[in-house]
Every structure is written in C-alpha cells, then in structure tokens.
Chains A and B, each alone.
Chain A
Amino acid sequence: MSTKNIMIVGVGGQGTLLASRILGNAVIRKGYDVKVSEVHGMSQRGGSVVTYVKFGDAVHSPIIDKGEADIILAFECLEAYRALPWLKVGGKMIVNNQMINPMPVITGAAEYPADILPKLGAVVDLTAVEALTLAREAGNAKAVNVVLIGVMAKNTEIPYEEWVETIKTTVPPKFLEVNLKAFDLGYNL
C-alpha cells in the first residue's frame, strides 16, 4: 500500500498527542509500517501543535510536506485553516468547530479570521464536528480528542472492533468508559 498521511492539528493542551497515539496503535494492528511524529516541550504551552501519522508498506520520513496529507484532523478552526496548504488536493478535513483565540487576537494585535468553516468548505471535502458538545455528552469535555478520532475512524478501512481494542490499551482504565462513549458518538455521527 502506498503511504497514507494523516495530520492532527490543534492547540497545546487539547489532547492531540493521545489522538495520534491511538491512531498509530490502531494502524499497527493491521500490520502496516508506521511513523508518528509528535511535538513536546515549549510549543505545547498553548501554542500550535502539529502531529503526523504516516502508514503504509514502508515509511521513511516521519513528517508530512505541503500538499501531501490525505486527511487533516483539526481540533480548532484557526489551526485547521493554518493547516490547509498541507492537505492533498482533493483530501479530507475533519474540523472541530471550537474557536480558541491565540494571544495576538487576545491582545488586539490581530483578528481571528471570519467564516473559516465556509471558506474551508468551498475548497475541500469538509466534515465539521461539534466535538465539545459530544464530549460533554459522553461525560467529559476533555474527550474531544477521542470524539474526533471516532469521526476519522469511519473514514479508514480499519474495522470498528480494532479501534475499540486500541482505545482499551491506550487510555488509562478510569477514563475508558467515557472515552469509548466519546468514540462511539464520533463514529456514529
């Protein structure tokens, strides 16, 4: 299989790292070669966070270039917009409709771009998700990441049961029930 590229973008603290680990672990269950590139340290402190998950017969570079992501999973609207140039022409974007103001917007030095979702919808195959609402419905606002993984899972050939098994081995036991519920809410959207 040629390499499939998935990019996960969001704001530091939103749980993108766990999402990329669930995805990576689900993929190896299918026997693919896989690389997951993470970001740690300073950029995690409320800054833009980008992780890459690549899988296929043989994966060399852990990073994804502009125009090469098959799917972009975005945890926040502005970060989805920022990532647009990385999407393959004809690729798919799954975007949480949450908006989090970055510091230049908070201080008034810049404005949060208007109408991001309609702008994205005009140029890419877009699925907008009310992930925060669904995560709260599952029982914890922090489960936004797993809701989004659920939406994305539907767009891969990896069967439902494999995802559930992966979540069971990746998330801490005390959050398992909430996370499984969050996954289902995303998967069945």
Chain B
Amino acid sequence: MKKLMLGNAAVAQGAYEAGVHLVSSYPGTPSTEITECMATYPQEEVFVEWAPNEKVAAEVAVGASIAGGRAMTCCKHVGLNVMADALFTNSYTGVGGGMVYCVADDPGMHSSQNEQDSRHYARAAKIPMLEPADSLECRDFTKAAFDLSEEFDTPILVRLSTRVSHSQSLVELGEREVHPVKEYQKNIAKYVMMPANAIKRHVVVEERTAKVEALAGDCSFNTVEDNGSDIGVISAGIAYQYAKEALGDKVNYLKLGLVWPLSKKLLKEFAAKCKTVYVIEELDPFIEDACRAMGIDVKGKELFSMLGEYTPSMIKKVVLGEDAAEFVPLEESIPGRPPVMCAGCPHRGTFYVLNKLGVTVSGDIGCYTLGAVAPLAAVDTTICMGASVSAAHGMAKVQGKEFASKLVSVIGDSTFMHSGITGLVDIVYNKGINTILILDNSITGMTGHQDNPTTGKTIRGEATRQVDLIKLCQGIGVERITVADPFDVKNFEKVVKTELATDEPSVIIAQRPCALLKNVKYSGNCVITEKCRKCKLCMKLGCPAISIDKASGAVRIDVTQCNGCGLCIGVCPFGAIEKEEA
C-alpha cells in the first residue's frame, strides 16, 4: 500500500523495516518527528527514548551498537555539534550492530539559530553520508544505511533538510526484517580507544574510506540521467528536486545519494560528457569544492547563493536564462507576522517582570527565546543550549559584582536538563554569584511537547521517575532556591529583586505549565471595563489578544485569541480588567 508520509516518518519506517532495536534522541526541529514516529512501533520490537541531550543519545546508541543491536540517534544540525564527541571516535571503533546518525539541517533557518551545513561532519569524521531527496528515499536510504554500516564496519550519517523532513510524499511500506541482536563480543583493540589502539584503528578508517569511495563509483545511491544535453547538473537531496523541476529533461543529471565519500571516477566521467557542469547545492560548496580539488571544472557558488533555500525559478534563471512566472506584485508594504508567545504563555509573566526591572538577560534556546521580540524585548543573548547559565557566569566575572546584580539567566526545564546543569556547577564551584531562572513549564515546548526527565513521563507516555529540580540544585551546592509563579507578577518581581541582591548563586524556579498542555484549563476570557484609563501598561505584555483601537485609543481584548489566563488582570494598576466566564 502506498502511503503519504512525512520524510521524518519515512526515516522511522526505514529504521523499523531494517530491524532497528534502539533509538535514542533529543528533540530538535526539523528532526523531532523521526523519534516520535519511532515510538509508535511496538515496544517489544524497538526501545525508544528521549535522552537529556544529543551527546547522551548518541552514546546510548553507540553502546547498543557495540552490544550487537541495530541502533539510531536523530538530531537537528546543531544537535550534531553536541554529538560530535561520540561521532568522531565512533568512526574509529566502527560498529557491532548497524549504527545510524540521522541529522536534519535547516537551510533558511525556519527554526534554528544558525545555518550550518552538516555535510562537513561526514568528511571531518570520515563517516559515509547518505542524502535522500524525498520520503521514499528517506525510507530506502535509512534502511540501506544499517546494512552498509555492518558491511563496512562504520557508522553511517543520513542527512535531511527541512523540506525533506517536513514534506509528505508517497511511500510503499515494507515488512520488518528480522535481525536478532548479535552476541556481545569483547574486543579491546576495537572498542577501547586509547592511543595504542586508536593508532591502529585510524589505519582501518582510511582503508575503509577507500573502499566506500570505490562503492560510490558504482552504487544505486548515485544515479546518472543522460538526456543527451551539453549541460550537466550535479546535485543531491532537495536541491536535486528543485533542479529537476526547473530544468526537466533539458540537462543531464548526476544525482548523488552518497554525498561523502565522492567518487572521482564517477564525477570525472559525468563531467567529461558535458560542455558545462553546474553543481547545485544549498548552503556550502561541499560537492563543488570536492570537484575542483579533483580538477573538474564546474560552475557553482559564483552563480548560486550560500544563503537560505533555493527555488526552481532561481535555478531556471541561472542555468537556462529563463524568467520566472509572471505574478501580481503587492503595491504597498505590509506588516510582517513574526512568531509570538501564545496567549496564556507562562513565560510572558517572567519577561514582563524582567523587562520592567531592566536587567540584562542571558537567554537560551526554546519558546522563551521569543522574549527577545518587541514589546517584551527582554533578552540580550541567545547562543546555544545551556549558554544562558555559563555565559552569564563569564559576563559576571569580567563585569563585576554591580553588573551581576542586574543580570539573570533564563533557561527552560528541558534545556536545563540538556546542558544547563554543568554551567550551574561551574558557577557554584568557581564562586559565581549569578541568578538563574529555570522556566519550568512542565514540557519541552518549542519542538511541540516532548516529555523530558522533569515531566515524569517517557516518550511512550509511561509514568517514570522524575528529576526533582530543587533537590538537583541543592545537590550541586546552590543554597538559595525559590519557587515562584510568574503569573503572580508582584511576588515574582519581589523574588527576582531579592535574589539579585544576594552575593551568592541563586536559582528561581518559575513554575507554571505551558498553556497548550491538555491538562491546563483556563476558562472564559478577559474584558476591559470602563475603569480603564488607557495607561497601556497591559500592552507591555505583548499578548496577541490585547490591542489598541486606533480610532478611539481604547484598549480591547479579542475574545477569539484570549484564553482567560488572567495575567493582564494582575498587571492592571486600576483593576480595569475582569474575567468574563463563558
């Protein structure tokens, strides 16, 4: 039966059909659904988990592979940075059962803090990389990756991009292959990477790469489509789909499915038959640089951008010189619609207070990054997961006590579990005096509600032990820990002021669940009464339900947007906002 499947779901299906035994990941757009879909397969067949971060996830999968099972770990591009420590040495150890790292890049940065090109990791860690171009290939390549992994004794990288991960196309479903977990075999020379062993394993890695390169010259992942043209196009992944739509059968194609290592023989033979060869790839000139190093004359980034996503019309213009379709242009500039915190978001109370106090906010990765958007505009920095805590320590150490008394870190519950803990250890150990706000909304929010070690539930929704944030911080050595509700803005402000004034590390746990959680039930909606003096203080909340009527200057609440959370009621100094029950 053919089924319309998300690329991510098809990766999960491919791993399932390949008989995968264990999948461990940390959520990250655009990769999250792979692991969520994995958890829909029977738990007798595959163990699936959310790990606290990508490094842990990768190590869990590597362990499963060494122990003889087929294992996979999935992440977004920046998650691969966190995994990298395991990745580079796993390349040396090779595998027991098949081992697959699936990484999803985000050209155009739909939901990311940078636009890095993960293909560089394949070359740097010397790990073969497959790149599917649609959902069917997601299934096929992932499935094949496990066999390749065992055949060549190497982990395999599968690279996706947002438009492959989050596009649905047709997939013919297959049956699960039976691959029993192999018997565990102790092998010190292969799995203990101390210098004497690693020196020998590096030799194996180089020999292996030569073998995979030979495979690249003649395998079903790389296909040539000869349309008898003078023009050749070398492409891979989603860029191939754009090229194919733009250029049809007017050019010849070399579609690469195995994007590292590349076969010199294959590339040279293809290029020799064409007068002009274009390399069409989003982000960095990865294939282009390899072609040039092989002495193949190609056209690439001098004509195409290194920034963002490509489109078929942009390719058509460059290669064929044809203009894009005619369209009706907009005759006025119109307001953008940036993402905002939802109505009822618990973070709104936190950032309202931080904005009011005018403190410096060391931010982190999650929904609360939106605290940087006007009118809250309360966040100063966002770098990577966990940096809110550790970067604030660095800020305080160079700027001194006075600065530190007006500096806070904000980090979500899941992000704190991911890599905030170690930063807090550093602060305590090195006599820091920072104030850390853990925004505990009872879920991993931005990626669409995944459970984490603080929620008390596994990926399959089963009850499990729950990390106690208070005890955890106590164990690290933090003596000042306060739990406060960010919707009780008066008390919350008092708590933040008190903790900023102390000369020791303190943690404030801002506790209120995400408004989108099913068990959170706000009712009715808020209304502005005649007591309103148009002071516009409520407008500082940046609530999507509250706006000002241009003509009358009156504040109004849109009942279709308001969920009755009541934050504005507590903020209004004149008691002019009331709750209207439905």
Contacts and interface: CB of A to CB of B under 8 A. Distances in A.
Nearest to A52: B167
A37 B342 contact: no
A24 B168 contact: yes
B579 to A, nearest CB: 20
A60 B246 CA distance: 9
Contact of A81 (B167, B245, B334): B334
B328 A87 contact: yes
A92 B102 CA distance: 40
B337 interface: yes
B328 A85 contact: yes
Interface stretch (A65-73, A149-157, A179-187): A65-73
A44 interface: yes
B542 interface: yes
Nearest to A25: B4
B231 interface: no
A13 interface: yes
Nearest to A113: B334
Contacts of B339: 12, 42-47
B329 A60 contact: no
B326 A42 contact: no
A39 interface: yes
B313 A107 contact: no
B244 A60 contact: yes
B169 A62 contact: yes
A86 B340 contact: no
A85 B167 contact: no
Contacts of B324: 65-67
B4 A47 contact: no
B29 A62 contact: no
A39 B110 contact: yes
B186 interface: no
B15 interface: no
A111 to B, nearest CB: 7
A42 B446 contact: yes
Given A38-B6, A141-B560, A61 B242 contact: yes
A100 B547 CA distance: 11
B330 interface: yes
**Central interface residue in A45, A108, A123, by most chain B CB within 10 Å:** A45
Contacts of A103: 337-338, 340, 373-375, 542, 544
B325 interface: yes
B99 interface: no
B348 to A, nearest CB: 12
**Central interface residue in B238, B329, B544, B550, by most chain A CB within 10 Å:** B544
Contact of B111 (A28, A41, A48): A41
A107 B170 contact: no
A189 interface: no
Contacts of A13: 342
A89 B328 contact: yes
B236 to A, nearest CB: 14
Contacts of B373: 103
A101 B242 CA distance: 34
A63 B339 CA distance: 21
A88 interface: yes
B446 A35 contact: no
A85 B313 CA distance: 14
Contacts of A37: 163, 166-168
B342 A34 contact: no
Contacts of B166: 37-40
A82 B328 CA distance: 11
A60 B328 CA distance: 25
30 contacts: A13-B342, A33-B170, A34-B169, A34-B170, A35-B167, A38-B168, A40-B29, A40-B32, A40-B33, A45-B341, A47-B337, A47-B338, A47-B339, A60-B245, A61-B241, A63-B312, A65-B324, A66-B325, A67-B325, A67-B326, A82-B337, A85-B327, A87-B328, A88-B325, A88-B327, A103-B338, A104-B336, A106-B544, A109-B335, A132-B560
- Pairs A-B, 9 closest by C-beta atoms: A41-B111, A67-B325, A41-B29, A67-B327, A47-B339, A110-B335, A102-B337, A62-B167, A45-B339
Given A37-B167, A37-B168, A45-B341, 16 more contacts: A37-B163, A38-B166, A39-B110, A40-B29, A41-B30, A41-B110, A45-B342, A60-B245, A61-B241, A62-B169, A78-B337, A87-B328, A102-B336, A105-B547, A106-B542, A106-B546
Interface of B: 2, 4, 6, 29-30, 32-33, 110-111, 134, 163, 166-170, 238, 241-242, 244-246, 309, 311-313, 324-330, 332, 334-342, 367, 369-370, 373-375, 446-448, 539, 542, 544, 546-548, 550, 558, 560-561
